C-alpha cells in the first residue's frame, strides 16, 4: 500500500520539468491548487507525497511510543490491565523507583545498565574488528572468495532462534560441545565450567552476540570497500606505500562515512537486542549477563508491573537518543573539520 502510494506519483515527477508552467486548470478543477502560489505548490509537493508514508510511520512507531510514555505515568498492574483508564496516576513514582539507586529496583537496573554497556562496547568493537579484517582480507581476488563470503554471512542469514538455540546446546555443561572440546579433549580445565550460568555467562553472551553481528559489519564494510576507486591504491603504491600504509591512509579514511553509520547502528541494535539473550538464557538471565532488554521485560511482563517497565523503557530511549545525538555531533564535526 505504502509503496503504491509513494512510487506511482514518482513517475509523474520525472516528466514535470521545473521550467514548465503549471498546466492550465480546466473549468471547476484544481480549486485548492489554483490560489496557492506556484512556488509553494512546488515546495509542498514532496511533503505531500510522503504524507501517507509519514502518517503510517506515525501510526506504527510514534503512537506505540507515546502509549509507552503514557503507561509509565500510571500504576499499571494486573488489577487494571483490562481497563487502563481506571489505573491510578503514578506521577513520577515509576521513574523514582527506577532511578533510586539505593533501592533494590534501581540498584538492579543500574547493574543491568552497566552490564549492557560493557557487553555492547565489547560486541561492537569486536564485530567491527572482525568485519573489517574479513572485508579487507577478502578484497583481493583469490580462489574460493565467493564461497568464503557466503559462508561468513551465514550467521546473519540464519534465523536468530535456530542459531542461538544451537549455541545454547553447545554451551551445556555436561553434554555441550564446548566443554567436550575444552575439558575432555584439551584438558584445559579440571572441572567442567558452566557457560550459561554464573561468571562465564557474560563471555558466552558476548561470543554469541559477536557471532551474530559481525557478518553484518563484514557485509557493510565489504560494500564500502567496493566504492573506493582502484586508482587510489595504484597511486599510493607508486608513491611507495605498503599494505599497512594503504590501510591507514586510503582504506580507513575512505570508509569513514560507512563506519560512522555502521558503528552507530551496531551499537543501537546490540544495546537493544532482546532475542539473543532471551533465547540463550530464557526468561531469567544470570546476574552477570543481565542485559537491559531482558531486565525490562522481567520488570514488566513477568512481575506484571507494566508501569515500572515502561518507565525503564522510556529512560532507555532517552539514553539511546542522547548517545546517538552526541555521537552524530562529534563524528559530523570531525568530518567537517577534516
Partner 1 sequence: MLTRKPYVFAVAGALMFAAAACGSSDSSDSGSAAAPASITYWASNQGTSLESDKQILQPELDRFTKETGIKVNLEVVPWSDLLNRILAAATSGKGPDVVNIGNTWSASLQATGAFVPLDDAQLNALGGKARFLGPSLAATGAPGQPPVGAPLYSTAYALYYNKQMFKDAGIADAPKTWDELVADGKKLTKDGKWGLAVEGASVSENAHMIFTLGQQHGGDLFDSSGKSQFDSPANVAAVKQYLDFIATDKITNPSDAAYSNGTEALQDFIGGKAAMVMWQSASGTLKTGGMTPDDYGVAPIPLPDPSSGGKQVDSMVGGINISVFNSAANKDGALKFVNFMTSKQTQQDLNKAYGSLPTVTDAYDDPAFQTPEIKTYQQILANTAAPLPQVANESQFETLVGNAMNQLFADAASGKPITDESVKAKLTEANQQMAG
Using CB under 8 A, list all residues that contact partner 1. 1-2, 4-6, 8-9, 12-13, 15-16, 22-23, 29-30, 33, 41, 45, 48-49, 51-52, 55-56, 77-79, 81-82, 103-105, 108, 172-174, 192, 194, 196-199, 282-284, 286-287, 298, 301-305, 308
Distance CA 39, CA 216 (A): 44
Residue 177 grid cell: 560441545
Angle formed at CA 190 by CA 184 and CA 192, multiple of 5 degrees: 65
DSSP state for residue 196 in the 8-state scheme: S
Residue 198 grid cell: 554464573
Kindly state the smallest distance separating residue 78's Cβ from partner 1, in Å. Answer: 5
Kindly state the smallest distance separating residue 117's Cβ from partner 1, in Å. Answer: 21
Which is closer to partner 1, CB of 70 or CB of 103? 103
Which is closer to partner 1, CB of 243 or CB of 301? 301
From the list 234, 274, 270, 269, the residue with the least C-alpha distance to 250 is 234
Kindly state the smallest distance separating residue 226's Cβ from partner 1, in Å. Answer: 35
Which is closer to partner 1, CB of 93 or CB of 246? 93
Residue 65 grid cell: 511510543
Contacts of 250 (CB under 8 A, 6+ apart): 228, 232, 233, 236, 241
Angle formed at CA 57 by CA 51 and CA 62, multiple of 5 degrees: 125
Which is closer to partner 1, CB of 60 or CB of 186? 60
Kindly state the smallest distance separating residue 12's Cβ from partner 1, in Å. Answer: 5
Three-state SS at 164:
helix
Which is closer to partner 1, CB of 305 or CB of 310? 305
Distance CA 218, CA 133 (A): 8
Kindly state the smallest distance separating residue 264's Cβ from partner 1, in Å. Answer: 31
Kindly state the smallest distance separating residue 140's Cβ from partner 1, in Å. Answer: 45
Which is closer to partner 1, CB of 284 or CB of 324? 284
Question: Do the beta carbons of residue 199 and residue 206 sit within 8 Å?
Answer: no
Kindly state the smallest distance separating residue 30's Cβ from partner 1, in Å. Answer: 6
Half-sphere exposure of 128 (CA within 13 A, CB side): 19
Which is closer to partner 1, CB of 87 or CB of 124? 87
Alpha helices in 29-144 (DSSP H): 31-34, 38-57, 63-71, 93-99, 104-137
Amino acid at each position: 500500500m505504502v509503496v503504491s502510494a509513494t512510487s506511482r506519483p514518482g513517475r509523474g515527477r520525472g516528466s514535470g520539468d521545473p521550467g514548465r508552467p503549471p498546466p492550465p486548470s480546466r473549468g471547476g478543477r484544481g480549486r485548492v491548487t489554483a490560489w496557492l502560489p506556484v512556488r509553494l505548490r512546488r515546495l509542498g509537493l514532496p511533503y505531500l507525497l510522503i504524507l501517507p508514508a509519514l502518517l503510517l510511520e506515525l501510526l506504527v512507531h510514534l503512537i506505540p511510543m507515546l502509549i509507552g510514555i503514557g503507561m509509565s505515568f500510571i500504576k499499571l498492574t494486573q488489577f487494571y490491565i483490562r481497563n487502563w483508564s481506571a489505573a491510578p496516576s503514578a506521577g513520577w513514582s515509576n521513574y523514582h523507583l527506577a532511578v533510586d539507586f539505593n533501592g533494590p529496583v534501581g540498584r538492579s537496573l543500574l547493574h543491568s545498565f552497566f552490564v549492557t554497556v560493557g557487553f555492547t562496547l565489547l560486541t561492537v568493537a569486536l564485530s567491527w574488528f572482525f568485519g573489517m579484517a574479513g572485508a579487507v582480507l577478502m578484497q583481493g581476488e583469490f580462489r574460493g572468495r565467493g564461497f568464503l563470503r557466503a559462508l561468513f554471512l551465514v550467521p546473519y542469514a540464519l534465523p536468530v532462534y535456530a542459531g542461538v538455540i544451537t549455541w545454547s546446546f553447545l554451551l551445556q555443561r555436561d553434554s555441550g560441545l564446548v566443554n567436550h572440546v575444552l575439558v575432555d579433549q584439551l584438558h584445559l580445565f579440571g572441572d567442567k565450567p558452566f557457560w550459561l550460568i554464573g561468571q562465564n555467562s557474560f563471555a558466552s553472551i558476548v561470543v554469541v552476540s559477536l557471532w551474530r553481528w559481525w557478518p553484518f559489519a563484514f557485509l557493510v564494510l565489504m560494500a564500502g570497500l567496493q566504492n573506493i576507486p582502484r586508482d587510489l591504491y595504484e597511486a599510493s603504491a607508486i608513491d611507495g606505500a605498503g599494505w599497512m600504509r594503504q590501510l591507514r591512509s586510503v582504506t580507513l579514511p575512505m570508509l569513514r562515512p560507512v563506519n560512522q553509520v555502521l558503528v552507530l547502528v551496531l551499537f543501537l541494535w546490540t544495546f537493544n537486542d532482546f532475542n539473543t539473550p532471551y533465547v540463550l538464557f530464557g526468561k531469567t538471565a544470570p546476574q552477570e549477563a543481565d542485559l537491559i532488554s531482558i531486565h525490562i521485560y522481567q520488570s514488566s511482563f513477568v512481575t506484571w508491573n507494566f508501569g515500572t517497565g515502561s518507565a525503564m523503557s522510556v529512560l532507555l530511549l532517552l539514553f539511546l537518543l542522547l548517545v546517538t545525538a552526541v555521537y552524530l555531533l562529534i563524528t559530523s564535526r570531525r568530518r567537517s573539520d577534516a
